[in-house]
Amino acid sequence: MSAEDRAGCPATSVLHRIGDRWSVVLISLLAERPYGYNELDRAVADLSRRVLTRALRTLEHEGYVRRTARLEPLYRVEYALTGLGRSLHEVLVLLGGWAEAERDRLGGRVPDEG
C-alpha cells in the first residue's frame, strides 16, 4: 500500500481525526446523553478547558457532535452526538470489546506485523 493510498483511505482519515487522547472519551460520554459544556468539563478529569474546547470544535467540525446554544432561561451550550457520531460510537464499542478481549496479547505494545 502506497503512502498515497494510506492518505486517501477513509479509515485512516477518521483515525487521525479522533486519535487524540480525548475525542473517544468525549464521544463515549455524549453517547449516554447530551451534556452542557460545564458538565463535560467536570466529567473528565485532567482535561483542560482549552483542550476540551478544541476537541469539541474538531468533533463538531467533523460532524460527530452537534452544538446547540440555548438562550432561555439562561444561556447554555449543549453538546450531543449526531447520527454520524452515534454510528462511530458503535464502532468504538466494538473496538473496545476487541481490545479488552485481546488485552493479554496486546500488553500495551504495538503488535508485530504479519
Secondary structure of 81-106 in the HEC alphabet? Answer: ECHHHHHHHHHHHHHHHHHHHCHHHH
pLDDT given for residue 109 in this prediction: 59
pTM for this predicted structure: 0.81
Taking 50 as the threshold, does the pLDDT of residue 113 lie above it? no
pLDDT digits (tens, 9 = 90+) for 43-84: 999 999 999 999 999 999 999 999 999 887 888 899 999 999
pLDDT given for residue 112 in this prediction: 53
pLDDT given for residue 114 in this prediction: 44
The grid coordinates of residue 5 equal 493510498
Taking 90 as the threshold, does the pLDDT of residue 18 lie above it? no
- Share the mean pLDDT of the chain: 87
